[in-house]
Amino acid sequence: MIQDIAPHTYDPAFRIQEPSDRDYVLHYEYNKVMLLKEREGYVIPTFEDLKEEEDLKPKARYLFSIDDRAYFCVTDMKMPEFGGYVMEGLPIFRTFEPLHQAFAGITGSQIYRWWQSRRYCGHCGGKMEHGEKERSLVCSKCGQTEYPKISPAVIVAIKNGDKLLMSRYAKGAYRNYALIAGFVEIGETFEDCVRREVMEEVGLKVKNIRYYKSQPWAFSDTEMIGFTADLDGDDRIRLEEDELSEAGWFTRDEVVEYGNFISVGHELMKAFKDGTI
């Protein structure tokens, strides 16, 4: 999965730190990221790469580290006109290499999006400022504190003997088969959320709900919590047509391998195909 970057180590601890020349610059504009073209592909530029530009270091804000290299976000800068810089859409990180930098790029974008969407206090309209002791934004007028936007969502592999339930979404760009998933409501446990989403989307009951793995999914500011479950009773699917265009039971042989297992949903589908769940 995208966060499985071993032997590299991700360190998200909050820090106030000055950049060094070998640290990385993440510059985002809306849903694009600045990359540097190098040979066949792209790399994330360092402060060294950008040394010809106006001094970026005073404007840089520490994000996190991977191993001994820090990543900084520089919001207020212009992309250099020369030298091979490009603004690319964030989906590039679905296939970007090396994987630990794909993870850095997409994770940084989630922090950037949170900053951009919380520039003013939702309570009093005051200007938000960066917290000094933790990753937070604090209102300069009323003191309201905002923490990073992370929305929990469940995803579940529902088994019926040797068959797996898969579905296709009715809307959106993603057209491949997927597992049942949905956002956790206020006041709901993850297990209750699994039961509710499965009932709403395909009209089925489930039992033996077991935690599988979780996954930060920065593309949608989500933390996916993966589960397995068994069908409980009637296997007749009643589709919620607003959300799904089709759903059905598939044998292990019928489960399609999509090749790139960066999501917990794909890993669950592969685990079912391989007979490990």
Residues that bind Zn ion (CB under 5 A): 121, 123-124, 126, 139, 141-142, 144
Least distance between Zn ion and beta carbon 129 (Å): 11
Show the tokens assigned to 26.
Answer: 């993440």
Cα end-to-end span (Å), the chain: 17
Helix-then-strand count for the chain, H and E: 3, 17
Whether 105 contacts 26, CB under 8 Å: yes
Of residues 140 and 189, the one with the C-beta less far from Zn ion = 140
Lookup result for tokens 């610059």: 25
Least distance between Zn ion and beta carbon 115 (Å): 16
Least distance between Zn ion and beta carbon 117 (Å): 15
Of residues 126 and 203, the one with the C-beta less far from Zn ion = 126
Residue 50 zone, left/alpha/beta (φ > 0; ψ -120 to 50; rest): alpha
Q: Which of 226, 185, 184, 182 is nearest to 202 (CA)?
A: 182
Of residues 40 and 132, the one with the C-beta less far from Zn ion = 132
Least distance between Zn ion and beta carbon 136 (Å): 13
Of residues 22 and 123, the one with the C-beta less far from Zn ion = 123
